[in-house]
């Protein structure tokens, strides 16, 4: 039964840090007046922007969603007690998934060299959390103080992971026109970014059908299977993080995309239909770690031995790890001083159509394309959304309807008035429903100057 504690050492470190993905600036980044913010969706949209100069002073987006727990006020008050929130009040036959993100877009500027070509400089700080396929029964095993709620259950999992990653970006973007006729417009663009590491933590269990069954009569657990356990984290000392950000870059990423517009024959400066395709966050960032903080173990839990579950529900994780190593149940296989983590690479496809005069309808689909078999990778959020919007020269109002793989569907609202933009992709669902599994808010200041110069 000591093998049960292997699972505890893998997952117990995850949940207390849950409040530490990814739908940023939903609604505003698909605006036809996004300016330099269009680099968040497709850098090709920079070409032929309506302003000669677009300046973004500051903006942020904070978002959180999960697959199980409604994010009501009463539930948010219990996030420091995950054993009660996740494993007593709510149950599910499906694994638990969550995405949490903080996205700070700093001072950035886009400058139109001429009617066809635009350059941009951007700064951005991002922190993302990804919890993937956490077994609910395993959580009950770890956090219950008695075996009452877990007897008779089988814990069967192939892979689950938890990742926290923070970094800073400095990017150079460029976009130009490929085709410009009275009816059609085609643009391409790209961004190259240098990355500065911040924080990193990752815990994963990759099992070859590792199974634990708790007998309801004898209250003994039988474990069988093999797998891999990884535990890695960088030094979270604020001085170390500051030195990393102010020091040399330790990563690189790129974005690229193409955009098409069907022009309005009566007013060629406007469009009837717009579409775009982009691939974002192609790259990596490297984190320096102490060898003792980057451990990988091979699991050999074959044999199906059993013991009383009450003896192993809680305990000191360092002692558990030592006991498991001494018993030969886990064997250290790797201990490096550098971690190369992949960014949450994603493909974006969007369509934007003018319905009637100032009314537009936007469709946006994002699909993560990272290798999801590597538990060290940070995974992008999969979602699609429909956003009706009302656009005039001075004001823009948007109402995103979003459907996510993790949290289901939710409805929000936002507005851009002069230089200010603010909104939330879930505020209407949160306000009128007790079952919203997403909360978020975005706010920022950006402004444009002048008109695009002629060729």
DSSP one-letter string for 214-264: E-TTT-EEEEEEEEEEEEEE----HHHHHHHHHS---EEEEEEEEEEEEE-
Which has the minimum average pLDDT: 58-67, 116-125, 305-314, 404-413? Answer: 305-314
Q: DSSP E strands: which ranges in 108-153?
A: 108-112, 118-134
Enumerate the H helices of 16-166 as residue ranges: 73-76, 82-87, 136-143
Is the pLDDT at 320 greater than 70, yes or no? no
Structural domain count, the chain: 1
Residues 6+ apart with CB under 8 A from 180: 116, 186
Residue carrying the six token digits 């009128």: 432
Query: How far is residue 177's CA from residue 12's CA, in Å, rounded to a whole number?
Result: 52
Contact between 222 and 241 (Cβ < 8 Å): no
When pLDDT is cut at 50, 70 and 90, the band that residue 243 belongs to is: low
Query: How far is residue 236's CA from residue 133's CA, in Å, rounded to a whole number?
Result: 26
Task: Give pLDDT, residue 455.
Answer: 39
Phi-psi map region of 113: left, alpha, beta (phi>0 left; psi -120 to 50 alpha): alpha
Stated as kind and residue range, the H or E segment containing 417 is strand 413-417
Is the pLDDT at 44 greater than 90, yes or no? yes
Task: Give pLDDT, residue 174.
Answer: 98
Task: Give pLDDT, residue 297.
Answer: 86
Establish if 455 belongs to a structural domain: no
Task: Give pLDDT, residue 209.
Answer: 66
Establish if 454 belongs to a structural domain: no
Q: Provide the mean pLDDT of the chain.
A: 81
Stated as kind and residue range, the H or E segment containing 318 is helix 317-326
Task: Give pLDDT, residue 265.
Answer: 86
On the 0-12 / 13-18 / 19+ scale of CB atoms within 10 A, 453 is: exposed
Query: What tokens appear for 421 in the block?
Result: 């933009």
Is the pLDDT at 91 greater than 70, yes or no? no
When pLDDT is cut at 50, 70 and 90, the band that residue 420 belongs to is: very high
Query: How far is residue 230's CA from residue 245's CA, in Å, rounded to a whole number?
Result: 26
Establish if 67 belongs to a structural domain: yes
Task: Give pLDDT, residue 323.
Answer: 67
Query: How far is residue 399's CA from residue 394's CA, in Å, rounded to a whole number?
Result: 17
Query: What tokens appear for 249 in the block?
Result: 């870059």
When pLDDT is cut at 50, 70 and 90, the band that residue 37 belongs to is: very high
Q: Name the residue with higher pLDDT: 168 or 11.
A: 168
Is the pLDDT at 229 greater than 90, yes or no? no
Task: Give pLDDT, residue 410.
Answer: 94
Task: Give pLDDT, residue 99.
Answer: 86
Task: Give pLDDT, residue 326.
Answer: 73
Residue carrying the six token digits 């200010």: 420
Give the pLDDT confidence of 45-68 residue by residue, as tens digits. 999 998 899 999 999 999 998 888
Task: Give pLDDT, residue 284.
Answer: 93
pTM summary value: 0.84
Query: How far is residue 427's CA from residue 433's CA, in Å, rounded to a whole number?
Result: 10
Which of 201-210, 215-224, 289-298, 435-444 has the highest average model confidence (pLDDT)?
435-444
Q: Name the residue with higher pLDDT: 398 or 243.
A: 398
When pLDDT is cut at 50, 70 and 90, the band that residue 120 belongs to is: very high
Is the pLDDT at 194 greater than 70, yes or no? yes
Task: Give pLDDT, residue 452.
Answer: 60
pLDDT-above-90 percentage for the chain: 43
Range 84-108 average pLDDT: 80
Query: What tokens appear for 228 in the block?
Result: 């891999």
Range 343-372 average pLDDT: 92
Give the side-chain half-sphere CA count within 13 A for 233. Answer: 13
Q: Name the residue with higher pLDDT: 193 or 199.
A: 193
Structural domain range at position 18 = 4-449
- The phi, psi pair for 78, rounded to 5°, reads -105, 10
Range 370-398 average pLDDT: 88
On the 0-12 / 13-18 / 19+ scale of CB atoms within 10 A, 316 is: exposed
Query: What tokens appear for 218 in the block?
Result: 């004898």
Task: Give pLDDT, residue 33.
Answer: 87
Q: What angle do CA 436, 438, 441 make, to 5 degrees?
A: 125
pLDDT-above-70 percentage for the chain: 74
Task: Give pLDDT, residue 129.
Answer: 86
Question: What is the crossing angle of helices 136-143 and 4-11, to 10°?
Answer: 100
Radius of gyration of the chain (CA): 24
* Number of residues assigned to the chain: 455
Is the pLDDT at 138 greater than 90, yes or no? no
Query: How far is residue 426's CA from residue 410's CA, in Å, rounded to a whole number?
Result: 5
Task: Give pLDDT, residue 6.
Answer: 38
Task: Give pLDDT, residue 338.
Answer: 84
Which has the minimum average pLDDT: 3-17, 102-116, 371-385? Answer: 3-17
Give the pLDDT confidence of 142-189 residue by residue, as tens digits. 555 445 555 555 565 567 888 889 999 999 999 999 999 999 999 999
Contact between 253 and 354 (Cβ < 8 Å): no
Enumerate the H helices of 118-172 as residue ranges: 136-143
Q: What angle do CA 424, 23, 362 make, to 5 degrees?
A: 75
Task: Give pLDDT, residue 336.
Answer: 77
When pLDDT is cut at 50, 70 and 90, the band that residue 35 belongs to is: very high
| Beta-bridge partner residues of 387 | 362
Stated as kind and residue range, the H or E segment containing 324 is helix 317-326
Range 214-221 average pLDDT: 64
Name the DSSP class of 309. Answer: G
Which of 134-138, 267-271, 390-394 has the highest average model confidence (pLDDT)?
390-394
Query: How far is residue 51's CA from residue 66's CA, in Å, rounded to a whole number?
Result: 39
Q: Identify which of 19, 141, 133 has the alpha carbon closest to the alpha carbon of residue 81.
A: 19
């Amino acid at each position: 039964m000591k093998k049960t504690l292997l699972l505890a050492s893998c997952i117990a470190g995850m949940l207390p840090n849950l409040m530490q993905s990814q739908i940023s600036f939903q609604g505003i980044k698909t605006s036809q007046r996004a300016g330099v913010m269009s680099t968040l969706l497709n850098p090709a949209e920079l070409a032929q922007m309506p302003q000669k100069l677009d300046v973004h002073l500051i903006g942020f987006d904070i978002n959180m969603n999960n697959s199980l727990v409604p994010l009501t006020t009463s539930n948010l008050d219990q996030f420091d007690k995950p054993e009660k929130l996740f494993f007593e009040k709510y149950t599910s036959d499906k694994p638990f998934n969550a995405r949490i993100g903080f996205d700070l877009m700093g001072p950035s500027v886009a400058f139109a060299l001429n009617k066809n070509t635009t350059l941009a400089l951007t700064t951005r700080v991002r922190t993302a959390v990804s919890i993937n396929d956490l077994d609910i029964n395993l959580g009950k095993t770890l956090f219950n103080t008695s075996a009452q709620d877990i007897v008779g259950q089988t814990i069967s999992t192939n892979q689950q992971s938890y990742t926290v990653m923070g970094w800073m970006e400095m990017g150079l973007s460029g976009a130009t026109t490929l085709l410009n006729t009275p009816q059609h417009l085609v643009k391409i663009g790209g961004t190259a970014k240098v990355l500065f590491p911040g924080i990193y933590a990752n815990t994963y269990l990759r099992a070859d059908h590792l199974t634990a069954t708790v007998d309801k009569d004898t209250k003994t657990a039988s474990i069988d299977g093999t797998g891999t356990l990884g535990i890695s984290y960088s030094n979270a000392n604020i001085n170390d993080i500051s030195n990393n950000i102010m020091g040399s870059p330790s990563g690189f990423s790129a974005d690229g995309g193409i955009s098409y517009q069907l022009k309005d024959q009566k007013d060629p400066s406007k469009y009837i239909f717009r579409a775009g395709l982009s691939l974002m966050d192609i790259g990596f960032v490297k984190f320096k770690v102490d060898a003792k903080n980057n451990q990988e173990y091979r699991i050999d839990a074959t044999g199906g031995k059993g013991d009383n579950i009450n003896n192993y529900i809680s305990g000191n994780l360092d002692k558990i790890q030592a006991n498991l190593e001494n018993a030969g149940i886990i064997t250290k296989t790797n201990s490096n001083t550098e971690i190369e983590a992949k960014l949450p690479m994603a493909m974006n496809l969007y369509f934007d159509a003018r319905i009637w005069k100032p009314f537009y309808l936007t469709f946006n689909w994002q699909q993560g394309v990272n290798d999801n078999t590597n538990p060290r990778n940070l995974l992008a959020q999969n979602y699609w959304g429909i956003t009706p919007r009302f656009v005039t020269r001075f004001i823009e109002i948007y109402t995103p309807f979003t459907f996510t793989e993790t949290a289901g569907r939710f409805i929000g609202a936002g507005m851009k008035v002069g230089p200010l933009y603010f909104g939330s992709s879930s505020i209407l669902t949160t306000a009128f429903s007790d079952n919203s599994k997403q909360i978020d808010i975005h706010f920022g200041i950006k402004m444009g100057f002048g008109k695009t110069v002629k060729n």
